Structure 1
Amino acid sequence: MFQPAEHAPEWAMEGLKKERLLEDRHDSGLDSMKDEDYEQMVKELQTIRLEQQEASHCAEPWKLQLTDDGDSFLHLAIIHEEKALTMEMVRQVKGDLAFINFQNNLQQTPLHLAVITNQPEIAQALLEAGCDPELRDFRGNTPLHLACEQGCLASVGVLTQSRGTHHLHSILQATNYNGHTCLHLASIHGYLGIVELLVSLGADVNAQEPCNGRTALHLAVDLQNSDLVSLLLKCGADVNRVTYQGYSPYQLTWGRPSTRIQQQLGQLTLENLQRLPESEDEGSCDTESELTEDELPYDDCVLGGQRLTL
């Protein structure tokens, strides 16, 4: 049900509820309405004055309307791909940063939804109107994270073009709540064109995940994506960068099927980073223990008054 930020209007709509788990909802309402509810929503949207408003933005009641999911009219117009209406609304609210950057219950801005619904032209209009591309959703994803995860090169281009050097660097280096940069996500999903574009724009090809220190090259080995390995090497990926456990990308090739990747990395990796860490102690595994009597394991176990021999 639509609710204003402070009180319910007389013309509030009903029927926008649908049972679903919050964590399983990625589209912020996409396909969440029955046909009659959607038609009613469109009628309400069409009541918005599309000509230039003489009244101040604060006096426009439609700006205060929210669904139970926290979606504004602008969110809904984007979700349901009402492009003409969306563009007109964006034109009217240009410069109203509080409205255009409003985040729903999943912390999604209209820009997040434009990317999710694969509408790069809407994303462009939102950016020009002042939408902040660095705001994060409930998983810590910026709109660029989502574009890289979905493999939408057009959206990636829109989100990275005409950004100031410092601003672009901040977006490229941002990590979501899983510790992934945009380059990590593009690598995980194998979008080579996006990987190459991000690196050309200044993304750190050797950025490490905070959880275990894997770089995009480590991820490429995990995924056994030889084309991605070749591209990352071409882009300057460091073959000798190790995870927090001390593993080089080459060491992760052991036990995996791609001999091509192993050969690619073996020619470039330092010799001491080609051996698995545990292999260094193989010689000592078969030798007898040389512990002194004082260093022998504690064996003073007694059962029924009798000392047990371990």
Structure 2
Amino acid sequence: MASGDYRKEDLQEENRTDSGIDSYRSILKEEPFPKAARDPGSDGSGPRDKFSAGEERLDSAYGSSSLTVESLSEIVEDCNLSSREEEKAQGTELSEQEENLLTTITEDGDTILHLAIIHEDEFFAHQLIQLFPKDVLDIQNNLYQTPLHLATYLNLPSVVHGLVEKGVSLELQDQDGNTALHVACQHGQTDCVTQMTREVSPSKLAPVLETQNWRGLTCLHMATLSRHHHLMKLLMKKGADLNIQEGTSGKTALHLAVELHDMQAVTLLLNNGANVDGAMFNGCTPLHLAVGRQDAATANLLCQSGADKMLRNMEDETALDLADGNDDILALFPFDDIQISGRSVVGVKY
């Protein structure tokens, strides 16, 4: 599928809560989109509250404007940044009109760089990236999306590279708590992930890999849930913690892979050192989940990898207690003296 087709489908997908790019449908004149849905703080209970207490928005010094993406072509014509860079090198300042243009934001919180990226004008975006200081490049719009978020949503790896090279923050989170790396891992944007991780120091990348979105998911969790095995491998090479727990129920990436019956991901995680006996908040191990889902193949793989068959969850259940008479799974527990409710589990037909 061509990248352009991918973006079109991505923009038209309904009821998606993890991509604020839909909010730009009204700007792009594709279809109306209620302003309340575009403003995460409009109902007083959205993610805006997470930022409003004691934290100042990076765009607080910017003025509002009626600037829209439709006017971008006129802006490009009126503001020749290439010549301005030469004048800047010669000590010539921007005119007041040009400075106002470059330092205004739309009612949706977008800078001219946000708009250039939304409009997929990569040439103009690169000029702006070179012109703007880092703090401006990190401005978040009303959906708390930075230019890096938008370049990732639209799969513009060259723009992502330019932003990362300029030193933008990889840790900033959008209205769903996703960093740009979360977005790339969810949607399989391999080139964008590569640009965000290739030349970033381990010390700078580590906190990004550990960041959880508002659903408690890290980038590795996102890649696992989306079955992007190549990205899982890339994140592992970059030092992602294989055993970090998501924030709602304490599942590791291995738990998620087991739930998805994704044998390739299970094998990948186990081969790279994932804890086969990692427990959720309720005490369930991956083996509990595999047996509870009657997945004999995955349960067998976990047992071959050394899973402890006798660990108990918060309900005082071992994985065997969840076998529910499945002969293939019972065969993984070669004990002739184990009984359930006074009955031997070996050779019993249920």
Q: TM-score, normalised by structure 1?
A: 0.77
Q: Name 1:48's counterpart in structure 2.
A: 79
| Worse overlay, 129-138 or 249-258 | 249-258
RMSD of aligned alpha carbons: 2.8
Name the CA distance, whole Å, in 2 between partners of 1:271 and 1:39: 62
Label 1:197 to 1:22 Cα distance change in 2 as closer, same or farther (>3 A): closer
Q: Residue 161 of structure 1 aligns to which amino acid in structure 2?
A: R
**CA apart distance, 1:64:** 2.4
1:236 aligns with 2:267: no
For 2:159 and 2:267, the matched residues in 1 are separated by 35
Is the CA contact 2:243–2:253 (under 8 Å) kept in the aligned structure 1? yes
Q: Does 1:34 align with 2:29?
A: yes
Q: CA deviation at 1:196?
A: 0.9
Structure 2 unmatched ranges of 5 or more: 1-13, 31-67, 323-338, 343-350
Judging changes above 3 Å, is the alpha-carbon distance between structure 1 residues 22 and 199 closer, same or farther for their aligned structure 2 residues? closer
Q: Which residue of structure 1 aligns with residue 122 of structure 2?
A: 83
Give the match for residue 37 of structure 2: none
Q: Structure 1 residues 259, 24: CA separation in 2 closer, same or farther (over 3 Å shift)?
A: closer
Look up the SS of the partner of 1:271 in the other structure.
Answer: coil
Looking at structure 1, the residues matched to 26 and 185 of structure 2 have their Cα atoms a distance apart, in angstroms, of: 23
Is the CA contact (8 Å cut-off) linking 2:188 and 2:228 kept in structure 1?
yes
Q: Which amino acid aligns with 1:33?
A: L
Give the drift of 1:269: 0.9
Q: Look up the match of 2:341.
A: 283
Distance 1:173 1:24 in 2: 19
SS in structure 2 at match of 1:122: helix
Q: Which moved more, 1:147-156 or 1:64-73?
A: 64-73
Number of residue equivalences: 263
What whole-Å deviation, never above 9, does each CA across 1:256-295 have from its counterpart, x for those lacking one?
A: 25321121012321131389844399539xxxxxxxxxxx
Q: Which of these two proteins has the greater Rg computed from alpha carbons? A: 1
Instruction: Report the Cα offset of residue 163 of structure 1.
Output: 1.2
Cα distance in 2 for partners of 1:104, 1:62 equals: 17
For structure 1, the 5+ residue unaligned runs are: 1-19, 285-310
Task: Report whether the alignment pairs 1:225 with 2:225.
Answer: no
Distance 2:301 2:26 in 1: 47
Check whether the contact 1:108–1:137 (CA below 8 A) recurs between aligned residues.
yes
Output aligned runs, 1:72-221, within 5 Å.
72-93=111-132, 96-221=133-258
Instruction: Report the AA paired with residue 156 of structure 2.
Output: Q
Would you say 1:63 and 2:102 are equivalent positions? yes
Shift of 1:188: 0.5
Q: Counterpart of 2:310 in structure 1: which amino acid?
A: N
State the shift of 1:122 in Å.
0.3
CA distance in 2 between counterparts of 1:24 and 1:241 reads 28
Residues 105 and 39 of structure 1: is their aligned pair in 2 closer, same or farther, counting only changes over 3 Å? closer
Question: Could you say if the C-alpha distance between residues 104 and 39 of structure 1 is closer, same or farther in structure 2, counting changes exceeding 3 Å?
Answer: closer
> Which whole-Å deviations, capped at 9, do the CAs of 1:110-132 have from their partners, x for residues lacking one?
11111011001101101122321
Equivalent position amino acid for 1:34 in 2: K
Distance 1:210 1:21, change over 3 A: closer
The CA distance in 2 between the partners of 1:263 and 1:21, in whole Å, is 38
Q: Summarize deviations over 1:81-101 as a string: whole Å, max 9, x none.
A: 1111111111222xx122111
Task: Tell me the CA shift for residue 22 of structure 1.
Answer: 11
Match of 1:300 in 2: none
Detail structure 1 runs of 4+ shifted over 4 Å in the superposition: 20-25, 56-59
Contact 1:224–1:261, Cα closer than 8 Å, also in 2 = yes
CA deviation vs aligned residue, 1:155-175 (integer Å, no higher than 9, x gap): 111101111221111111111
1:274–1:126 Cα change, 3 Å: same
CA distance in 1, matches of 2:101, 2:15: 28
With over 3 angstroms needed to count, the CA separation of the structure-2 counterparts of 1:124 and 1:30, relative to structure 1, is farther
Distance 1:71 1:165 in 2: 31
Cα distance in 1 for partners of 2:15, 2:297 equals 44
Contact in 2 for aligned 1:114/1:120 (Cα 8 Å): yes
Task: Look up the equivalent residue of 1:26 and give its one-letter code.
Answer: G
The equivalent of 2:311 in structure 1 is 273
